[in-house]
Amino acid sequence: MAETRTEALHQNAEGLDVQTPDAILSFLANAQIEAAKAVHGAIPAIAAAADLIARQLRTGGRLAYAAAGSSGLMAVADALELPGTFGIARDRIAILIAGGDEAFRTLAGGPEDDTEEASAAVVAANIGSGDCLIAISASGSTPYAVQALNDARSRGAATIAVANNRGAPLFKQADVAILLETPPELIAGSTRMGAGTAQKIALNMVSTLAAIHLGHVHDGYMVNLSADNIKLRDRAVRMVAAISGKSREDAARLLEESGGVVKTAILLAAGAANADTAEKILEGTGQKLRPALSALGHDPEKWNPLFGKDHARTRK
């Protein structure tokens, strides 16, 4: 088997173990920074992946993540945040990780070679037409990830591959291939480091852009969040107040009237007759707040009722 980039030795690795602690840590930090830069070359593919995910979710499909080892941990970190951050229903997200729940405790290496487990996981999750599966593997050849992607594709799902080696087998059946060409690891083969950092960034970028396409972000606000704790309820109040220009007290009242739904509360502040009317307006705009405000006669770039209709908001 030919040596791949993810198995090669980093140029600064020779004599690493006899360097001073400060020097070692500087090498480690710089290696992570260099790895993170790999996402820049993947931006067109990341954009295509986000568009694909948004299209599948918009039409009722689900998003599945499939991976093993440290790549699986990156997948889980992204997937589990989507319901809370962007209000995507938990039953619309599937996580297929080699070794199942036990992987979170042991992260054993063996399950990543189990193609039968991968096939069974795709069937158990009922991945099929209308869904999208994103498979992640630093080497791009992990049997579990490759099998899961190929099976998902054969069942009619859209597929996205994320890997850190050019020409990876994982790319062959993918609708979108995201190559994160990170440098060799300072500890050769330890892809939990630079490769994992680039994967984490890329997955965050993909899911965030998909959420923007779905109308879950307005300016820099997560306006479709699920406010299920004190911190997030306070964030929801602050968002409604900031976007509408209402006081925090009024924002809290509007949120109560809207059942805790941020976008609905903002449209109530903008003049929607009631929550049902606000929700119908959002349905007509594909859940996007900016055109919904326009439908109520406001310029969303200028509207702030605290200072009167169409008074420009101050942007710092």
Q: What amino acid positions are annotated as catalytic residues?
A: 81, 112
Alpha-carbon radius of gyration of the chain: 22
Spell out the alpha helix ranges (H) of the chain. 21-36, 43-58, 69-79, 82-86, 103-106, 115-124, 143-154, 194-213, 230-244, 248-257, 262-269, 275-284, 289-295
Please, are residues 133 and 155 in contact by the beta-carbon 8 Å criterion?
A: no
Q: For residues 19 and 156, give the distance between their C-alpha atoms in angstroms, rounded to a whole number.
A: 52
Degrees, nearest 5: CA angle 147-151-155: 170
Tokens, residue 257: 């009237």
Tokens, residue 227: 């406010």
Instruction: Give, rounded to a whole angstrom, the gap between the first and last alpha carbons of the chain.
Output: 55
Q: For residues 87 and 194, give the distance between their C-alpha atoms in angstroms, rounded to a whole number.
A: 30
Please, are residues 206 and 50 in contact by the beta-carbon 8 Å criterion?
A: yes
